[in-house]
Structures are given as structure tokens and as C-alpha cells.
A and B are shown apart, each in its own frame.
Chain A
Amino acid sequence: MKTNDLISLLAEDASVGMRLGRMLALALLAGLIVSALILLSTVGVRSNLATAIETTRVLFKIGFTLVLAVVACRLVFLVGRPGRSLRARGFQLAIPATLLAIAVSTELLMLPSQAWTESLIGKNAGFCLFFIPVLSLAPLAGFLFVLKNGAPENPGLAGASAGLAAGAIAAALYAFHCPDDSPLFLAVWYSIAVLLVTTVGYFAGRRWLSW
């Protein structure tokens, strides 16, 4: 085929279906709904949510996971677009990291050292490690599916940020159920769960997102 023939061919296919940004927004929304339904139909939100949400620890837990989710999602919306620098939005990940560091130090100052281990181990660490990845499946699948249409310059990085965003969304949802409220618990178990999903995203990205 001559290059000119190819050009005529491409030109006949000029119109674009849906832009990447809108597809990602749809994937985000769908993933959020599916995961919220999974949460509500299985374990549900905690029974004392109305009163618990007024305590600083619970408020921080939910707020922190939401901030992380927002920052990570902003990264996902950029990572599939070639020629855009990720640096600024990557550095924004320092915001939730700083918040968590402050909360952990405050908690350590406020709690007597005998109580540290108990808050850290919590009651439901195993379930947390299991359920956050489960809740992240729908958003992760959605993001990867859409990013397949994108053009990430670094497929592994794109997959990892999809994993981070999906993990953070899952964590934010799970926070409405989770009975363990200490920032220590958050810093250890939530982080492990989210990093797990991020790692899965990284390898999935390397495998499927090159173009």
C-alpha cells in the first residue's frame, strides 16, 4: 500500500468517537457505582456510622482516602496523554502523604505507648487486606480498559497510577465500613492494600498498555 493510499484511508475514518477524558470519567463513575454496590450488598456500612463520623479519627480516615483518590485520579486522567508532563500532578501525591504523617505523629503523641500495638493491629486487618483489593477490581478494570485506548508514554507507570487510584477509591469506600479508626491502622494496613493494587496495576500496565 502506498502511503498516500493509507492517508486517504485514514481520512475517511476522520471522526472521533469519544475523547479519552470522557471515557475515563465514565469508567470512574461505573467503577465507583459497582464497588459501592458490592460494599453495600455484602458487609454494608458500619452500624454506628452516624455517630462515628463525628469523631476526628473517622473523619480523617475518610477524608484522607478521598484526598488520595482525587489526587491519584487526576494523575490517571493525564497519564494516557502523550506529551504532557506528569511531574506537577505526581508531586501532589505528597499532599496525602504529609497528611498521613501528621496524623500518625499526632496519634503517637496522644496515645500511651502501651496502646500503640493494639491500635496498629486493630480488629480486622486481614479483612481489610482482602476487601480493599476486591473493591478496587471494578475501577481498576475500567481504568485499564480505557487507558488501552490512551497512549501512555510509560505503560508501567500508567498501570501503576490506575492501580493507585483504584486502590484509593476502594479504600475510601471501605472506610465507611471499617471499624478500625486509628491513623496507625490506616498507615499500615490500608497502605499495604493500596500498594498491592498499585503493584498489580503496574504489571498489568506493562503487559497490556503498550501501543
Chain B
Amino acid sequence: MRSAMKGDTQAYHRFLCAVTPHLRAMARRRCDQFGAPASEAEDVVQEVLLAVHLKRATWDTDRPIGPWLSAIVRNKLIDSLRRRGRHVNVPIEDVIETLEAEEQGDGLDRMDAANLLERLKDPQRDIVRSISLEGAGVRETAERLKMSEGSVRVALHRALKSLAAFYRSETREDE
């Protein structure tokens, strides 16, 4: 994470991949506890990842990352699950459906991510698509969209902020 803060993309990728399984396990356990449908666990994981990402400037690099990370995760997990848990009165058929979906293993992170992406404005949406779905890097994306790398980076950062905001408003509207 230390080298990630200096802009090392690969180190950051490794760090995020390493923490995600833990987040997922915690999110699933807590989903039960708060009575949120298990299908939402993956959304919670994504929300927590976004929070870790957007708040990483608050980590003091001279200190161990453990306490910082667990405070962020605890905060976001509880916040997110409360919002989701409060409005659950899911009919049993739905639960069965999501259980089936879980077995397929693919419907888990469906959320309205597609929806959320639609709500992004234009260059941001293209950039997010290009990097996340097509696996392109910032440089390729910049070339394709005929933008400078710098402005792609800025737009990407704004897009991530909007995604986090969408998550929050999305689950709030449901209440």
C-alpha cells in the first residue's frame, strides 16, 4: 500500500486483491447478522473498496495499516448494512431466487452497477467501461478517446467519487 500511495498501479492492484477475500467473508457474515439478503454482500464489498480507495489519503504512512483499514471497513460495513438491512422485508420467493443466483456464482455482484454506470456522464462512463470491462490501461484509454493521460486520470477519479455517491443515494432511496 505504501508504494501504491506513490502511484504504483501494480502494487495497489495486489493490495486490493489481497484484502478483498477478507472483506467478502466479513460482508457475508454481517449480511446475515443485519438481515440483508446475501446477494447484497458483493455490493457491500464494492462499497467498502471504494471507501478504502477514496479515503486512503487519511492513512498516515508511518503507521501500520491494520488499525486504519479495520476502522474504515467497520465503519463502512455497518453503515452500508444498516442502510440495506433496515428495509428488508423480502418475500421468500426472492430469497430463493438469490440463493439460486448464488449457486451460479455470477449474479452476486449484479447490483445496479450497470445502472450506476449509466448515470455517469459521458467521458467518465467511457473511461470506466474501457478500464474496468475491457481491461485497458489509462494510456490506451487516453489514446482511444483522444484525451491526455492526465485528464483521463482526473475523470477516472471523479467517476469513482460519483460511483461512491451513487451507492449511498441508491440504498437510501430504497428505505
Q: Which of A7, A21, A81, A153 contacts B75 (CB 8 A)?
A: A153
Q: What is the bound-complex CA distance between A125 and B21, given in angstroms?
A: 60
Q: CB within 8 Å of B: which of A125-150?
A: 149-150
Which of B6, B16, B135, B156 is most buried by chain A, counting CB atoms within 10 A of its CB? Answer: B16
B113, A82: Cβ atoms closer than 8 Å: no
B12, A80: Cβ atoms closer than 8 Å: no
Q: What is the bound-complex CA distance between A21 and B58, given in angstroms?
A: 8
Q: What is the bound-complex CA distance between A113 and B109, given in angstroms?
A: 74
B57 partner residues in chain A, CB cutoff 8 A: 16-20, 23, 149
B58, A14: Cβ atoms closer than 8 Å: no
Q: How many A residues, CB 8 Å from partner?
A: 32
Q: CB within 8 Å of A: which of B104-152?
A: 109, 111, 113-114, 116-117, 128, 131-133, 135, 137-138
A5 partner residues in chain B, CB cutoff 8 A: 132-133
A83, B70: Cβ atoms closer than 8 Å: yes
A88 partner residues in chain B, CB cutoff 8 A: none
8 pairs of residues in contact across A and B, judged by CB atoms under 8 Å: A7-B49, A9-B132, A10-B16, A11-B13, A11-B16, A13-B53, A150-B55, A151-B72
In the complex, how many angstroms separate the beta carbon of A15 from the nearest chain B beta carbon?
3
Q: Give residues in B with beta carbon < 8 Å to A.
A: 4-13, 16-17, 20, 24, 42, 45-46, 49-51, 53-60, 67-72, 75, 109, 111, 113-114, 116-117, 128, 131-133, 135, 137-138, 153, 156-157, 160
A151, B12: Cβ atoms closer than 8 Å: no
B157, A13: Cβ atoms closer than 8 Å: yes
B55, A3: Cβ atoms closer than 8 Å: no
Residue of A nearest to B43 (CB): A3
